[in-house]
Amino acid sequence: MEITNDNRRAHQALSNCSLKFLEFVKEDPGRLTRSNYNGLETPDPKWVLQPWPTFVGPHMANELREASTSVFTIIKSLLRRFFSYDAEKISRYYEIPMDITQYFLYGVSDEHINNLLARGDFIISPSGLKCIEFNVSSNLGGAQLPVWETMLVKIPVIAEFLRRYHINIINKNLLSILMEHIISITRRSIPIDDELNVVIAFTESGQYIADPREHAYANQLFQEILQQRYNPLKGEAIFCDYSKLKMEDEHLYYQDKEVHFLLEFNNGTAPFRMRIAHEKGNTLIYNGLVTQLVSNKLNIALMSEHQDSDIFTPQERETIKKYIPWTRKVKDGETTYNNQKIKLEDFIISNREQLVLKPGEGLGGVDVYLGYTTPEYQWRQAVEKAFQKKNWLVQERVDSYPFLYQYGKKGYAEHNAVWGTFVFGNQYGGSWLRIQPRKHPIGIINIAQQAEITILFEVEE
């Protein structure tokens, strides 16, 4: 397979280094062979690492940073800006029962929302960088990135390329940025004496597979940050399931250590008994219940529908127009497309191949329909379901550039990519990619659909 002009344009958009790497791996058939990249195995079978890294230069790195932070800043303001945190209004728009909406809003504040942890999903296409959704959750994955980056640079093929072309990787440590964020908001929000302990909590059901290397690395890094920047403050980063935590006198403990920050890996919820520690200001629980609202994909529709509204500043309107694809909440009636009035249902049925249908609260690619891979009869069924549910959205399809990555036992192929960009509060944390061969029959780029993880290296040019 030859490297086409479209492939070159795709990789050139990332960096000159990205093109150099393609020429480098084509020089030697051994560099196309999967078995020559041993050492990238992970303890969790759902994480499959792609052998070839992605090299991003300053221009694209800066755009990923700007797009992620500016879009997330707008998303964090929507519950206040459109609904004034009013449960009835929120319940009506997101089609969530009133009692559940009130539960999600428990303890909500601008301060808490401003410091949430998130990952945007972007596609780099010929029409530019576009945000297809924003996942606002503590359980984002990515904490493994520093470990994976270390594994990748030790692979002989990668190490040889870096040496030959004197490539200088300038990645910041994603986990270090997260730890700094946690320490900062904890010290600002609750009383801290001489100790600050963080717990990364998960359920006993095996939702999070333990990797002692990751846990030891995270704890060591956390303690180094405390020693170097917050001395004499001490503490630990602890990984455990909720059964190991106990409440005493409105305080949360792991064994004999008080927990000051709880990072929940439970889709926005922690056992309700622990909410008392959060309510009393003794433990911060992130992201918490409001995750279910801020993470709802209908927020992308809300931005797109009102992109010309004065509810946004001129700069925000430009951000939305630049990074948000045309998106609408599925509902009866008329809307606009390219400044033309349309009847939404007729438009969705008639333009199947250019559109994507998905629920606002969907996870893991469930119930996501890409029109160009969905038979017409099944698309009509999905449209009917969406109008019945009233909490779905339709989005204009964004086509990824055709990036080349290693494929099969020996070779390479064109892949589509979704760029996961991490934001902690207002701080950009870095990126990774999920990739899927372009010939994949479903086309959904998701770990549940066997997408691979590709490590991103920011490089100087």
Q: Average the pLDDT over each of 41-45, 105-109, 245-249 and give the range with the smallest value.
A: 41-45
Q: Average the pLDDT over each of 203-217, 407-421, 446-460 and give the range with the smallest value.
A: 203-217
pLDDT tens readout for residues 342-357: 999 999 999 999 999 9
Please determine, for residue 209, whether its predicted confidence score (pLDDT) is greater than 70: no
Q: Is the dihedral of CA 35, 41, 47, 52 positive or negative?
A: negative
Please determine, for residue 68, whether its predicted confidence score (pLDDT) is greater than 80: yes
Please determine, for residue 269, whether its predicted confidence score (pLDDT) is greater than 70: yes
Rounded Cα–Cα distance for residues 459 and 149 (Å): 13
Residues 320 and 305 sit within 8 Å (Cβ to Cβ) = no
pLDDT tens readout for residues 402-427: 999 999 999 999 999 999 999 999 99
pLDDT confidence tier of residue 232, bands split at 50, 70 and 90:
very high
**DSSP states along 57-105:** -HHHHHHHHHHHHHHHHHHHHHHHHHHTT-HHHHHHHHT--HHHHHHHT
**Looking at residues 266-294, what average pLDDT do you find?**
88
pLDDT confidence tier of residue 273, bands split at 50, 70 and 90:
confident
pLDDT, residue 344, reads 97
Q: Taking the CB of residue 164, how many other CB atoms lie within 10 A of it?
A: 10
pLDDT, residue 423, reads 97
Rounded Cα–Cα distance for residues 327 and 321 (Å): 11
Rounded Cα–Cα distance for residues 445 and 48 (Å): 13
Please determine, for residue 144, whether its predicted confidence score (pLDDT) is greater than 90: no
pLDDT, residue 36, reads 95
β-pairing verdict for 261-264 and 198-202? parallel
**DSSP states along 411-428:** -EEEEEEEEEEEEETTEE
**Looking at residues 380-403, what average pLDDT do you find?**
96
pLDDT confidence tier of residue 208, bands split at 50, 70 and 90:
low
Nearest partner of 48 among 36, 40, 38, judged by Cα: 40
Averaged confidence pLDDT in the chain:
92
Half-sphere exposure in the Cβ direction for 238 (13 Å, CA)? 21
Residues 295 and 119 sit within 8 Å (Cβ to Cβ) = no
Q: Which residues are CB-contacts of 41 (< 8 A; sequence separation ≥ 6)?
A: none
pLDDT tens readout for residues 146-159: 888 999 999 999 99
Task: Give the percent of the chain with pLDDT over 70.
Answer: 98
pLDDT, residue 211, reads 67
Which domains does the chain show, CATH number per domain? 1-325+455-461 (no CATH), 326-396 (3.30.1490)
pLDDT confidence tier of residue 217, bands split at 50, 70 and 90:
confident
CA angle (86, 92, 93) in 5-degree steps = 95
pLDDT tens readout for residues 36-55: 999 898 877 778 999 999 99
CA 91 to chain centre: 25
Q: Which residues are CB-contacts of 81 (< 8 A; sequence separation ≥ 6)?
A: 311
Nearest partner of 343 among 327, 324, 354, 330, judged by Cα: 330
Q: In angstroms, what CA-CA distances link 369 with 218, 226, 380, 404, 435?
A: 38, 46, 11, 25, 18
pLDDT, residue 293, reads 95
pLDDT confidence tier of residue 204, bands split at 50, 70 and 90:
low
Q: Average the pLDDT over each of 66-75, 274-283, 298-307 and give the range with the smallest value.
A: 274-283
Residues 222 and 237 sit within 8 Å (Cβ to Cβ) = yes
Q: Taking the CB of residue 80, how many other CB atoms lie within 10 A of it?
A: 13
Which range in 324-333, 358-367, 431-440 is most confidently predicted, on average pLDDT?
324-333
Rounded Cα–Cα distance for residues 132 and 147 (Å): 28
Please determine, for residue 447, whether its predicted confidence score (pLDDT) is greater than 80: no
Nearest partner of 359 among 331, 379, 383, 386, judged by Cα: 386
Nearest partner of 116 among 82, 145, 77, judged by Cα: 77
β-pairing verdict for 452-458 and 54-56? parallel
Please determine, for residue 75, whether its predicted confidence score (pLDDT) is greater than 80: yes
Residues 140 and 117 sit within 8 Å (Cβ to Cβ) = yes
**What 8-state DSSP symbol labels residue 333?**
S
Please determine, for residue 396, whether its predicted confidence score (pLDDT) is greater than 60: yes
Task: Give the percent of the chain with pLDDT over 90.
Answer: 79
Q: Which residues are CB-contacts of 419 (< 8 A; sequence separation ≥ 6)?
A: 64, 121, 122, 123, 124, 431, 432, 433, 456
Residues 302 and 74 sit within 8 Å (Cβ to Cβ) = no
